[in-house]
Structure 1
């Protein structure tokens, strides 16, 4: 039996309580005893003689960080390197399957499956074929080496694509039954929640009643619905109202993903109106929370900038039309319209704040790192819209973007909510210029929000990255330094924990994690991966 005793550290329990000096005793995977200096020390002398001593002199000892919003669904199937980026930040548990995207279910029709893979690639990365159902996905994850703990949701967008492709027609009774069965199957097999991406195709065609029917199995499992709302710009307040209503109809908790207000005209105003809606729902007994990432830019697929009216239920056909003169003209005209039920960032944000961050073809690498408006001008396109149409057509939709859409005041407002969780929202498009949040979101909270701007106390920041997200996703016995909990533990000097990733140079590992334990095993030490098989594939029912 492996025995470890972490000594001389300043312990943050993860619950937001004041830190204390003490020792943490670990046997195999589990924290067996927490000793406070000067208090009960029964058995400590024997433990000290038997256990390997880990000296955390002067350093913080915290639970491992938990990132409940990452699009790394496919990454474990391509090896364990994906874990380095997270372990360097102290992330010991992650949750995949966000924003309505999940690796499964896969459409039975091969052509529709390929269409889905192409659509999802700018968010989750290149497809891994051969796994079709949630049960198969979980069984496959069980057999892989995992560098950190891995939990998964089922995406209702992927479910809809599996049932009816990108069609904008209403669900038939049979289609709705099939969609609901997919949700039920995933929850039964341990999904920690269901995610929705109402902004994305084809979910943007769903009504509140559609969600109430599709997600009906959620009520008995009491798992959260994690939602990328319909609009984060002009329609943000109405979109928050919509998801609160969905949660009420389904009878499930609601987590508003990457809660923010986009578009300069909305800054410092609309976020407060939306929070009032959340607070009112909470007063009435509804379980509504949110999460955020600490950056002013967001990251997604360029296809999200295509008006659903132009897509008209067929993304492949829309991309083909963008290769014709008539289609480009129609697309450009569609970008000039303010829609009641869809945020047109071409108007509310502008192409001069949309950065191309990832493409599929080598010939288009020259556009990466440029704003859309700059690329259009530099390469002689007659308009920004014409360039976007050409690029989407040429890339078959596989273009990732970063949109500089938020202001720091609004981010701080969300950050200070007692029920907001810290996330990264990392996407996995193949690119040399990912969003810096992939490499630095969690250390940035410690460096900037705690050490530099004093927005949080250290214990508040730790709570938002440990026990709070663990409770939100029902991740059992993680997120706290407490007896009986799994030994996911970080040791670091808060003054030394740094993020280095920037929008200009994003591919830079964080530094400062002296030691990171996952399930009682040393996974990361002083900038190096020690063991790439410490993690577990988690299910909602895990104890």
Structure 2
């Protein structure tokens, strides 16, 4: 039976304008789905389906891929994944910034920022000593989105070292290598580092290269929250590129930014550096569309300059949402002392220049990642608003790039970078991860004051052929899958 003779699909998305995730110009085409695959793209006016989705006047695109998430535990603890599915996100890359929920030894400490996603008190059900056990749990209890899993270097350190303020010994390096090998054999696509943070700051370039040898053997990717994103950003990029060259593996610079006033405008230096490196090695980068970051509440006064909002506090939850400087003034103490009293805590830091944000966003090879922390009491709005904000504010309103380019930055480019097969583009034979949105109204509604707000303009989200979000509500489907590393 030919496709034209077939008169019925499981789902037919009819009347929409297709942006396919390749940067090709949009075209008015219908999309037919059978099972978990796209099986037809064209004029389906003569065809029928069990379910017809009217996309007239709307854009049909590949489901968005969050290139930088911290959803490791949330996928199990809150599998509806409303912060992501309401944005049109159908896949998330986990294990970023050096922190992952697995493989995490039960006896291991959970220092910040690891405790943000793997605290003993609230996340015991999402802690696993072996990476394979974590992936098996995800498959037993699927989330609403697909998972692209990575291993965190900090997680390996706390699982194998008794002291974190030094370089790992040869024995400890060997133990970390063994855990990384197990993780990659189970399906991890690579490893991330977070040398910016205290638990991994003492790791030398040499330690990282030695620990990451399995990446070269197994065909993995190296992703990093670099050692410095402020005064020594250039040196940190150089270290990142060197690690990639020594290992012979692709590298991703996470949430590229230039922090603190003295570094504003330095993207005019860093982007040409990255561009030049791309000519001789595999380099990628991502960013989020905001001029404020969010992470653990630092206790070093040099990292507490500017406006700092408290996002969570275990000792003083009543102060969440207030500025650190005002809290310190009311207590009559320094910023550093106030930070210590608020621990364990996380914060939002207004430390970037909007011109740099726009320049990095507009750079041809930049992917989009939310870097959202789902465990915060009052999270950064990027958790709920990243992808519609790119589509609405930066593409439609500021015209930083076309809608086709915006979609590519969050779909096809990301799938190619992470080696995810048959996703990221709308093509016959690809998995049916799709989003239908209104390009005239799509926008973020999450704010710093009220961050847990679904975006506007996202109408339908399909994950592996199952309608998961429709009519501004979750359908109850949880069709997400673990997208394992493809064998080298």
Same fold (TM over 0.5): yes
- Give the C-alpha shift of residue 119 in structure 1: 5.0
Contact 1:64-1:90 within 8 A present in 2 as well: yes
Q: Does 1:375 align with 2:327?
A: yes
Report the equivalent of 1:295: 290
Q: Does the 8 Å CA contact 2:12/2:48 hold for their aligned counterparts?
A: no
Q: What's the counterpart of residue 442 of structure 2?
A: 497
Residue number in structure 2 paired with 1:315: none
Q: Secondary structure at the match of 1:291?
A: strand
Cα deviations across residues 487-520 of structure 1 (Å, max 9, x unaligned)?
Answer: 1111121112121001111121112222111111
- How far apart are 1:169 and its partner, in Å? 3.0
Name the counterpart of 1:405: 351
Equivalent residue number for residue 180 of structure 1: 177
Return the alpha-carbon distance in structure 1 between the equivalents of residues 472 and 101 of structure 2: 31
What is the aligned partner in structure 2 of residue 466 from structure 1? 411
User: Are 1:122 and 2:116 an aligned pair?
Assistant: yes
- 2:317 aligns with 365
Aligned equivalents of 1:253, 1:481: Cα separation in 2: 25
Q: Which has the larger radius of gyration?
A: 1
- Separation (CA, whole Å) in 2 of partners of 1:54 and 1:306: 52
- Structure-2 residue corresponding to 1:93: 91
Distance 1:50 1:59 in 2: 19
Change (3 A) 1:407 1:478: same
What's the offset of the Cα at 1:382? 3.0
CA distance in 2, matches of 1:53, 1:271: 46
Alignment of 1:442-453 (within 5 A): 442-453=387-398
- 1:345 and 1:145 map into 2 onto residues whose CA distance is 38
Report SS of the residue matched to 2:198: coil
Structure 1 residue 387 corresponds to structure 2 residue 341: no
1:53 aligns with 2:56: no
Which residue is 1:345 aligned to?
Answer: 303
- Structure 1 residue 428: deviation in Å? 2.6
Question: Residue 142 of structure 1: CA displacement?
Answer: 1.0
The CA deviation string for residues 107-134 of structure 1, in whole angstroms up to 9 with x for no partner, is: 35x2xx2x21665223566322562110
Match of 1:13 in 2: 20
**Could you say which structure has the higher helix fraction?**
1
Instruction: Find the partner of 1:354 among 308, 318, 342.
Output: 308
Q: Could you say if the C-alpha distance between residues 124 and 171 of structure 1 is closer, same or farther in structure 2, counting changes exceeding 3 Å? A: closer
Aligned to 2:270: 274
Q: Could you report, residue by residue, the CA deviation over 1:190-236 in whole angstroms, capped at 9, with x for unpaired residues?
A: 11221110101221111111111100111133322110000111111
1:145/1:532 contact within 8 Å kept? no
- Asked whether the equivalents of residues 255 and 285 of structure 2 are also in contact (C-alpha less than 8 Å), the reply is yes
Where does residue 456 of structure 2 map in the other structure? 511
Consecutive unaligned residues in structure 2, runs of 5 or more: 1-7
CA contact (8 A) 2:371 2:383 kept: yes
Structural RMSD (CA): 1.9
Query: Is contact 1:224-1:472 (8 Å) kept?
Result: no
Counterpart secondary structure, 2:258: coil
What SS does structure 2 have at the residue aligned with 1:127? Answer: helix
Aligned pairs for 1:81-160 (under 5 A) are: 81=80, 83-107=81-105, 110=107, 113=108, 115-116=109-110, 119-123=113-117, 126-129=122-125, 131-160=128-157
Q: Is structure 2 residue 281 aligned with structure 1 residue 286?
A: yes
Contact 2:99 2:113 in 1 (8 A): no
Alignment of 1:314-333 (within 5 A): none
Q: In structure 1, what is the equivalent of residue 79 of structure 2?
A: 80
Partner of residue 522, structure 1: 467
Deviation at 1:186, TM superposition (A): 1.1
Looking at structure 2, the residues matched to 98 and 296 of structure 1 have their Cα atoms a distance apart, in angstroms, of: 20
- Secondary structure of the residue that 1:514 maps to in structure 2? strand
What CA distance in whole angstroms lies between the structure 1 residues aligned with 2:285 and 2:259?
Answer: 16
The aligned counterpart of 2:208 is 211
1:415 maps onto 2:369 in alignment: no
Is contact 1:414–1:420 with CA below 8 Å preserved after alignment?
A: yes
Moved >6 Å (runs of 4+): none
> Where does structure 1 lack aligned partners over 5 or more consecutive residues?
308-334, 336-343, 393-397
1:167 aligns with 2:164: yes
Q: How far apart are the structure 2 equivalents of 1:391 and 1:493?
A: 42
How many pairs align? 478
CA distance in 2, matches of 1:156, 1:137: 16
Q: Tell me if the contact between 1:223 and 1:473 (Cα under 8 Å) persists in the aligned partners.
A: no
